């Protein structure tokens, strides 16, 4: 489990670094480019999520199969694994080229038709769309190499590579548009150049450490036949998940002025801060669960699952409670604009509640994928889409941004309510009570009591420095209480103390 802990720590560091860069650079992006330009960037991020549908579930397949191979290396067929890796690698390169060329040619017209700018010209939007096509081309092969290295559990090295390039893309891009052309196109062009260098470095590291020889390995179309069921299930989950996750943003980007959509995107950025903690835990435990399932070690699977759930709960519940109850103060500390913070705060509260519920479902989802049971998530998603898509459209059309944010929270509440019992019924029967009463409820109550007390005691008229210090102390105290309330986390703490005393 030590490797899993190191992977979690490295993933959290990388995610925190990414969010820190976004927090630091976003006010300057808005200052140099304007709120409409920020809304345009947010539109491209949504489009990037939509394009993930073309992955067809192969990213998760790469992660899972590489993890299974690393766990069963002595019994695995190395030549078959080499064919699997080479086939999927070339597929991602071909897909990237096709997507990049298609976006370069078609996206300028689509963006000008879809968006409702008031200050940005059509020429600016078209130019930025072409650079986004180049960026999308490079992202596909990068996704393949990252998924494979995650499956190998080389996540520490992967993050060590990615963190400086993330700084170069964000801070370097900020300096570039400050000194050069102040446009979204210039920013995307700079980021594409940085991604090209990062992909080249990851490529060489991947083929050095994958443990197979590329020379002589051939494309094997049987790879598709062998893994089509899992990949198709993941693809269907991605489609339905995309509808549930991004439908509000797509509707808002079409119906609202670009400035208002920029406000909603800023609130979404605040809520996505939780993914600093959600994604690292999922990324570290998914390959571990896959390896344990492949070995048939049921007891270790149960222990790993409950440990991962407790880690997730301890990390995200205190932070979610903090953002939900102090949104206005946190946004002001970020943007230094009380009017903007007041506008965004209600949206941020609803979005962070939904994101927190989604985070709690990540570990059960990882267990489903480790068993190859994509049907569970798919059936749940289809039911939610059928029931809630009309509700999302109605809420967004009649209540605007607030309606979309509300439905994000509702969707994830239903997802958790249905998904948790179903997952335990089919994969870990008899463990639902422990999940609730041992893994989740104690950290939730411990952190909520501290945050609510802080909300009642802290004044809204504190200065910037005092507010930052008070919120930081409150979050650390709530996280500490959640840590002490978790059985597995206490054991880790006691083990660390014993090792320290022994040393």
| Tens-digit pLDDT profile for residues 250-262 | 676 776 666 777 7
What band does 220 get if pLDDT is binned at 50, 70 and 90?
low
User: By percentage, how much of the chain surpasses pLDDT 90?
Assistant: 15
CB 70 within 8 A of CB 291: yes
Can you tell me which residue has the tokens 């059509």?
122
Q: Is the pTM of this model over 0.85?
A: no
Residue 348 in tokens: 């941020």
What number is the average pLDDT over the span 231-235?
60
The string of pLDDT tens digits covering residues 15-53 is 778 777 877 787 787 777 777 777 777 777 777 777 776
Residues 6+ apart with CB under 8 A from 310: 438, 439, 443, 486, 487, 488, 489
The total number of residues written for the chain in this structure: 503
Is residue 102 within 8 A of residue 81, CB to CB? The reply is no
Interatomic CA distance for residues 380 and 415, integer angstroms? 7
Number of helices (H) and strands (E) in the chain: give both, helices first. Answer: 19, 0
- DSSP three-state, residue 361: coil
Instruction: Give the Cβ contact number of residue 337 at 10 Å.
Output: 14
Provide the pLDDT for residue 74: 45
Cα–Cα distance, 215 to 66 (Å, whole number): 19
What is the rounded distance in angstroms from the CA atom of residue 232 to the CA atom of residue 240? 12
CA distance 347 to 18: 22
Q: How far apart are the C-alpha atoms of 315 and 12, rounded to whole Å?
A: 10
Residues 6+ apart with CB under 8 A from 154: 209
Q: What is the pLDDT of residue 237?
A: 67
Dihedrals φ, ψ of 56, to 5°?
A: 60, 30
Q: In whole angstroms, give the CA distance from residue 38 to residue 43.
A: 9
Cβ atoms of residues 95 and 107 within 8 Å: no
Give the span between the Cα atoms of 268 and 256, in whole angstroms: 16
Residue 484 or residue 112, greater confidence: 484
Q: Which of 29-33, 146-150, 484-488 has the highest mean pLDDT?
A: 484-488
* Domain boundaries, given as residue ranges, for the chain: 1-220, 239-503
Dihedral sign, Cα of residue 345, residue 349, residue 354, residue 360: positive
Given a cut of 60, is residue 164 above it in pLDDT? yes
Q: At what angle do helices 338-360 and 298-325 cross, to 10 degrees?
A: 160
Q: How confident is the model at residue 149 (pLDDT cuts 50, 70, 90)?
A: confident
Q: What is the DSSP letter of 119?
A: S
Give the residue with greater pLDDT, 89 vs 220.
89
């Amino acid at each position: 489990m030590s490797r899993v802990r190191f992977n979690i720590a490295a993933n959290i560091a990388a995610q925190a670094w990414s969010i820190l860069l976004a927090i630091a650079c976003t006010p300057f992006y808005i200052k140099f480019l304007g709120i409409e330009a920020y809304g345009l960037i947010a539109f491209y991020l949504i489009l990037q999520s939509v394009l993930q549908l073309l992955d067809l579930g192969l990213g998760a397949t790469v992660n899972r199969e590489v993890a299974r191979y690393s766990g069963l290396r002595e019994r695995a067929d190395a030549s078959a694994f080499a064919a699997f890796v080479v086939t999927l690698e070339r597929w991602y390169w071909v897909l990237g080229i096709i997507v990049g060329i298609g976006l370069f040619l078609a996206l300028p017209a689509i963006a000008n038709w879809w968006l409702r700018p008031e200050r940005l010209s059509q020429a600016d939007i078209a130019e930025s769309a072409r650079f986004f096509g180049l960026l999308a081309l490079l992202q596909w092969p990068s996704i393949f190499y990252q998924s494979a290295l995650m499956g190998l559990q080389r996540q520490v090295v992967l993050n060590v590579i990615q963190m400086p390039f993330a700084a170069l893309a964000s801070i370097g891009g900020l300096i570039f548009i400050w000194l050069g052309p102040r446009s979204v196109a210039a920013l995307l062009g700079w980021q594409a150049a940085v991604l090209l260098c990062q992909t080249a470095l990851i490529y060489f590291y991947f083929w050095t450490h994958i443990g197979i020889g590329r020379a002589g390995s051939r494309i094997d179309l049987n790879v598709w036949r062998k893994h089509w069921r899992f990949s198709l299930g993941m693809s269907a989950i991605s489609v339905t998940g995309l509808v549930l996750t991004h439908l509000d943003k797509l509707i808002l980007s079409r119906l609202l002025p670009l400035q208002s959509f920029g406000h909603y995107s800023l609130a979404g950025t605040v809520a996505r801060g939780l993914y600093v903690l959600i994604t690292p835990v999922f990324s570290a435990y998914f390959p571990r669960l896959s390896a344990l399932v492949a070995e048939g070690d049921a007891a270790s699977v149960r222990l790993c699952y409950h440990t991962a759930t407790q880690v997730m709960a301890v990390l995200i519940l205190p932070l979610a409670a903090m953002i939900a109850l102090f949104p206005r103060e946190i946004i002001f500390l970020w943007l230094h604009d009380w009017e903007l913070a007041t506008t965004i705060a209600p949206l941020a509260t609803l979005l962070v509640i939904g994101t927190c519920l989604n985070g709690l479902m990540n570990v059960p989802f990882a267990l489903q994928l480790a068993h190859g049971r994509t049907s569970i998530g798919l059936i749940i998603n289809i039911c939610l889409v059928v029931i809630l898509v009309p509700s999302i459209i109605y809420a967004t059309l009649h209540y605007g941004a607030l309606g979309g944010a509300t439905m994000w929270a509702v969707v994830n509440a239903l997802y958790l309510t249905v998904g948790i019992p179903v997952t335990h019924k089919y994969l870990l029967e008899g463990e639902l009570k422990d999940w609730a009463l041992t893994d989740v409820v104690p950290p939730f109550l411990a952190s909520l009591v501290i945050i609510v007390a802080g909300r009642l005691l802290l004044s809204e008229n504190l200065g910037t420095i005092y507010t930052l210090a008070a919120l930081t102390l409150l979050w650390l105290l709530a996280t500490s209480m959640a840590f002490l309330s978790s059985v597995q986390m206490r054991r880790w703490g006691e083990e660390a103390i014993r090792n320290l005393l022994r040393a």
